[in-house]
Amino acid sequence: MSARDAETEITTLFSIAFEHSPIGVALVSPDGRWLKVNRALCELFGYSEQEFLTRTILDLTHPDDIEVTRDRVRRVIAGEVRSLQLEKRYIHRRGDVIAALSSISLVRDAQDQPRYFVAQIQDITERKRAEDDLRAINQKFHLLADHITDAFWIRSADMRELHYVSPAFERIWGRPVATLHENPGKWTDFIVPADRDRVVTSFSGLTRDTPSLDIEYRILRPDGEVRWIRARGFQVRDGDGTLIRTTGIVTDITERRQSEEDLRQSQSALRQAQKMEAVGQLAAGVAHEFNNLLQALMSMSTILRLRAAAPEITEIGADMESLIKRGAGLTQQLLLFSHDRIIEKSALDLDDQIQKASALLRRLIPETITILVETSGERLNVQGDAGQIQQVLLNLAINSRDAMMDGGSLTLRTGRDGDELFFEVEDTGHGMDEATQAHLFEPFFTTKEQGKGTGLGLAVAHGIVKQHGGHIEVHSRPGQGSRFRVMLLPSREEGLTAPKPAAEPGLPAGSGRVLVVEDEPSVRAGITTLLELIGYEVISAGSAEDAMALDLDPPPRLLLSDITLPGMTGPALVERMRDRWPALKVVLMSGYLEERLRENARRDRWRFLQKPFEFADLARELDIAMNEDVMSVNPQNRISGPVVH
């Protein structure tokens, strides 16, 4: 084939490729005139070939892209670059904007002068629109991620590379995002060590056979604060099912976990309160019945002692009375679990109370334990029973002593916290965990060896403090000692009673008629005999109904009645009896008495005897009552309703 024939064939092949190319192709003069265009370019711009040839490339270029087009063409003509590829916008015949990728090469003649440009123009409008949409989505995503409280993350399939983490990471973890980008594997260092293995194991499954995970764990912020987070992770797979990345969301749930913990503690406290309430009711019932039995025994032993002809019998009676008093002390311990145990309140200075306690403790605490006393320097008056407050101090101190078998220091401290006053017992012992603290004030709960403790010391202290209208706060950690703070309300000096004076020696002689109302026959018989021994004329009844049915002439001067009677309370009986005999004197007695009834009765100047009482106490109270003026019953204090035995 000759050179001429070869040139003809090449020209023919070029023309065929030019015309049938799916991409717009054109020949453009150095000054920008369209010299030749193919069918695809005509379809792209909406112009015929003849219309193209009357225009320049700049005529169809978007106004905002004209300058950059001129600059790029100038650089090609100047030989700075041999060709160029440029994304630019053109204007369709109907005015629409066309996004196109233009590839331009310059053809030069034998003298290296510009002859024409070969331009390929590809429509990328849809691609650009998709990119713009994706960019808008990304912008919205980042805007959302910047303001949402949860943290998002995207990692590689094996989780070794971090592709993205949202700004919320900094708020939750308290660390800059750059910390993770610099070392993507460092995130496990921020997990509380006790949770670390569990979390790593869970996330390892996400990279293999677990499509998702949902786990809660604790993280440690740089300032030492521990936060609870919930992490949810997901696998991302392509159409073939191949794992291509992992992603997830992290939520700070510290407040929720704290609320759950507060609720759990509240429920635990409620259960504890209900348990203590049940114990209190049981203790009150047992103490009431036991005190009645002790009262009968006390009366019998006293009668035995007084009527004994032989000295050894008198001694036996005295010994019995002593043992009965010890039994009465046990019932007082039981009554500490009841809300309504009688306590004799007076104005107490807390500084004075801990000074007294420290003096006693120095004889009870071994020398290996140093006792420190820190007083407030001001007078801290509370309403309290001195003996019971001392018992609380001793019980708490003994508990601290047992926690410091190898020695340490015990601190007694007083102070003021807002409107409340407090005293503290603090030790440097082995401390307690949360599980132990949850049961601390339960009766019979103890961590000591069998036979080394009853489990009643702290329960009794709790009961006493509750009876005083206060509460106990406990602060303790294993290995860091314990601090018990007893919070009490300050005293209002008025309305307080002085401690009950000791019984005076000698028995005052009695005279006059006394009506004794007691449902326990043995107690009734014993009291009747004792009163007759000192000169009283006694009429007895086993119930309020029997007492009201009596036709007495002359009327009794004094009513001695139990508080709890079948069908009617003692105060209610007093009201009915005084309707008949306004001058009737009153002494009430009980093995168990509500504080409310006691306060009401005190305002009506009724005398009281707490069972079991001694003969001397009985004689003295009746003598005092016989010589007091009578006041009418306050209608607001009247008691109605059934009595539960």
Q: Where are the domains of the chain?
A: 17-127, 148-252, 263-335, 346-488, 513-637
Q: Which pLDDT belongs to residue 335?
A: 60
Q: Which residues contact 411 (CB under 8 A, 6 or more apart)?
A: 371, 372, 373, 374, 424, 425, 426, 427
Q: Using the 8-state DSSP alphabet, how is residue 633 labeled? A: P
Q: Can you give the pLDDT at residue 645?
A: 29
Examine domains 17-127 and 148-252 and report if their fold is the same.
yes
How far are the Cα atoms of 359, 416, 424, 430, 473 from residue 351, in angstroms, in the given order? 13, 12, 11, 27, 19
Q: How far apart are CA 507 and CA 306, in angstroms?
A: 13
Alpha helical stretches, state H, 55-124: 66-77
158 touches 236 (CB < 8 A): no
Helix-strand-coil percent breakdown of the chain, rounded to 5? 45, 25, 30
Which residue type is seen at 197?
A: D
Is 2.60.40.420 the CATH classification of the domain at 148-252? no
pLDDT (0 to 100) of residue 504: 37
Supply the pLDDT for residue 545.
Answer: 93
The pLDDT score that the predictor gives to residue 329 is 63
Task: Specify whether the CB–CB gap between 500 and 394 falls below 8 A.
Answer: no
Q: How far is CA 328 from the centre of its chain?
A: 41
Under DSSP, is residue 281 helix (H, G, I), strand (E, B) or coil? helix
The helix/strand/coil state of 284 is: helix
CATH architecture for residues 263-335: Orthogonal Bundle (1.10)
Q: What is the DSSP letter of 349?
A: E
Measured distance CA(288)–CA(258) in Å, rounded: 44
Which homologous superfamily is 346-488 in?
Answer: Histidine kinase-like ATPase, C-terminal domain (3.30.565.10)
What was the pLDDT predicted at 487? Answer: 92
> Torsion-angle region of residue 354: left (phi > 0), alpha (psi -120 to 50) or beta?
alpha
- Beta carbons within 8 Å of 562's beta carbon, 6+ residues apart: 517, 518, 519, 520, 570, 588, 589, 590
Give me the CATH topology for the region 17-127.
Beta-Lactamase (3.30.450)
Positions in the chain short of pLDDT 70: 1-11, 13-14, 137, 140-147, 272-273, 275-277, 279-285, 288, 326, 329-344, 443-456, 492-506, 592-602, 629-645
| Third-level CATH fold of 513-637 | Rossmann fold (3.40.50)
User: CA-to-CA distance for 196 and 542, rounded, in angstroms?
Assistant: 73
Q: What's residue 1's pLDDT?
A: 57
The 114-123 sheet, strands edge to edge: 34-37, 24-28, 114-123, 97-108, 83-91
